[in-house]
Amino acid sequence: MQTTELKVDGMTCGSCVASVTKALKRVPGVQDVEVDLGSGIARVRGEHAAHQVPELVAALSEAGYQAGAATGAPAAQHQHPVGGCGSGAGAGAKGRGGCCCG
């Protein structure tokens, strides 16, 4: 089984983690997904995970997230709108599970 790491931009809460996990698990051949909100890294395990990066990135794009192969670069800081996550700003954005971030 192979493991590949993706840097996912825009994750800010547990709902985002759940959306990313669900999107990646839909890709054929993916056996396990581990998402670290703090680092913005998604680890994907599967028979051909290292060769599936384009499919994985496309699945995340459809879910509303930008991603690419992890390079170790720190993510840009995300700022929540006044009122924080769940304040209604951007609520219900595609793929965000109701998160305010978009």
List, for residues 23-69, the tens digit of each pLDDT value. Answer: 999 999 999 999 999 999 999 999 888 889 999 999 999 999 999 98
For the segment 94-101, the average pLDDT, to the nearest whole number, is 47
Q: Looking at the domain assignment, is residue 45 inside a domain?
A: yes
> How many domains does one find in the chain?
1
CB 20 within 8 A of CB 35: yes
Q: Looking at the domain assignment, is residue 50 inside a domain?
A: yes
Cβ atoms within 10 Å, residue 28: 9
Q: Looking at the domain assignment, is residue 15 inside a domain?
A: yes
CATH of the domain at 11: 3.30.70.100
Name the token pair of 27.
């890709």
Q: Looking at the domain assignment, is residue 49 inside a domain?
A: yes
Q: Looking at the domain assignment, is residue 63 inside a domain?
A: yes
Q: Is the per-residue pLDDT at 102 higher than 60?
A: no
Q: Domain limits at 59?
A: 2-69
Q: Looking at the domain assignment, is residue 31 inside a domain?
A: yes
